[in-house]
Structure 1
Amino acid sequence: MRLGEVTAPRVPRLRTGLGEVDRVLGGGLVPGSLVLLGGSPGIGKSTLLNMVLGRLAGDGRSTLYVSGEESAAQVRLRAERLAGAGGGTPSALEVPILAETDLDTVVATLEAERPDVCVIDSVQTLHDTGLSGAPGSVGQVREVAGRLMEVAKRLDVATVLVGHVTKEGALAGPRVLEHLVDCVLQFEGERERTYRTLRAHKNRFGSTNEAGVFEMRDSGLVEVLDPSARFVGEATRAAGSVVLCAMEGTRPLLVEVQALVSPSELVPPRRVCNGIDRNRLALVLAVLGRHAGLSTSTSDVFVNVVGGVRADEPGADLAVALAVASAARGLVPGAAAGPTPAADAGGDERPPLPVACFGEVGLTGELRAVAHGDRRLAEARKFGLSSVIEPDRCGTLREALRVALPRRR
């Protein structure tokens, strides 16, 4: 049969009620799909899924929460917090729960209840009595995931599996688990910080370029609909700080990149980074030393993307370079050439706006264009950052440093 002759009926998606989750999924949960959600312990995976099930139950969808790690009483305590005055999920207590680790019991419950959406927390805790091996072993995880997929496809139950992660942050268990599911989501962030990011590493029903941003509060996770406003408002107007015009999928995002350069007594000096790739930092430092005359061979260099956000795209190169150069020279980007502008006729000075930038740094010192340059510029101008340093304005890294860090008069 030719592909053009195949009938492909459009299946309506199940909206979760959380716009950030729906965006990452590609419009909502697909009936019969199998979604794998991973993340560090304590990052908020169970809280996020409790909110999703509560919103779906409030919309009249049948749900089921299978807990293999926590007792029903522990899950109720979380649901009470989400259903409180500030939680925004009043139907969290209406979600049915099954505290069970036996796979046969879970499958029988799914066949009897036939919910629209089911959450398995977590897949490593379930075990099949017909197989040897402890729960979480390779054979058990493969068999559990295979049977759950068969039930999900047969009964059209959108199933979300919570997966453990290793100390490196990768999903634990056999690699076949990621190949088996339809969508692999990663919930990222630092427990010491309030911001969380939801990304799709695999999605058979949508794009893998989208990301959702949340903020953890006492009442649960809150969607950050305009994260750029938060990050720009908190940006530091000081030496070593610039604003990166990044892209999270199809959405532009302004984040602050900070750098600290200090004399080192170690050989070799330390290179510490958070939110960017360490090899990418080494590349930018090498280009700074070779083509911009700024050597950091005797200094410790620390680079941080504020807010727990990761900037893995090449467009972050210029922001890292400007932040490091600003910290090394002790100059505030864009404000070293003259006095701070007055806020009004009274002469009160306002702090200078942070410098925004984006661009890929080449090995020969040139600046290369990156995708969605017009959308990055529009996002920067939306927050008053009219002067943006980017490849169309500066062709080389040396020229960009001359524009961003003019010498004091």
Structure 2
Amino acid sequence: MPAFSLDPAQTAWCAELRALAAERLRPLAEKGEPGRVNRPLVAELGQLGLLRRLFTSGALDLCLMRESLAYACTEAETALALQGLGAHPVHAYGTPAQRDRWLPPVSEGRAVAAFALSEPGAGSDAAALGLRAEGDAAPGGGSGAGDPGVVAGVGARPEAAALGAEPDGPSRWRLTGEKCWISNAPEADFYTVFARTTPGAGARGVTAFLVPADRPGLTGTALEMLSPHPIGALGFDAVPVTADDVLGEPDRGFRVAMGTLNLFRPSVGAFAVGMAQAALDATLAHTAQRDAFGGKLRDLQTVAHRVAELALRTEAARLMVYAAATAYDEGAPGVPKRAAMAKLLATETAQYVVDAAVQLHGARALQRGHLLEHLYREVRAPRIYEGASEVQRGIIAKELYAETEAPQ
């Protein structure tokens, strides 16, 4: 089967998701407060079994979920995606104890997750992280084992506690610094935090930590942003973490971050495609019924051609998203390049489609509460987060040149 073809069961599931989003999720979204975590909405996503599918489905299913929800309720789509982004490192790299502690409440919509990578001085350049994880030495030169100021992490490893310091590095750290533009902050229940454990080592010196929100020294503030979902900044004042909080391996956290982003980048494209399709369908309906210049708007060739262009670009983006997701699921070569291409094309396309749809609707589309006014605010951020468009172009070019230099 070609990578871009959906079978009847998948098509029916997408239709069911759009209906659920309109009938059960949108009313909850409308009751939420902009800029705050909508816990009733998250709980309903859990009740519907959609959050559990984040950890049992492949990349294509994730894309179908995000596209379908975005079409009818962008708030529901974002709530689902943020749960996946924050908790996927636990699912993919966590210990059994870490997974047992956090994945069930995330899947059921009882716990809110967040992915804490960006910093004030390290947004797109993830390898330039400044949040420090400094070894927490105990008096007498030990590792800090037995220090009453260190809070035990989830998923305790008995062998680490018995040995104290690990032979290849510290088993306890203090996190000091800032994170910024973190979705679901400061209201999340736990954070996947990326911090520098080896100074001057670039991407090779970053470690991923699972940090519960109640750790001493962890504070947060909400940020008022253009998009309506919750975003905040986090402050780390010697926040204690141990080897039991590490996700993956020390100094290998960049691999955790990139592994997560390679999965979620095509689905960011799917989110964008869902918004583009909603804008396109609204434009088709509007131009078919709006009287102008002695006929309907659709009778004007300039309008008809513009609508055709919107449909063309939307479908092209959808196909690239599906192809990238299928490549990920099949373990095909070139996933980073495909993921970057999918996110780049789909997010840039959605911006174009929504902007054109606003233009064809006229002033009514700028009125607060109009679908396109909502989409216009939502569509801008995906071109920046999880790697700005310029970063995606850099990834694509790097992968292309690597392919030409590889031995044949």
Which TM-score band applies after superposition, normalised by the shorter structure?
Answer: under 0.3
TM-score (norm 1): 0.24
RCO higher in 1 or 2 (8 Å CA, sep ≥ 6)? Answer: 2
Higher-Rg member (1/2): 1
As a proportion of its length, which structure holds more helix?
2
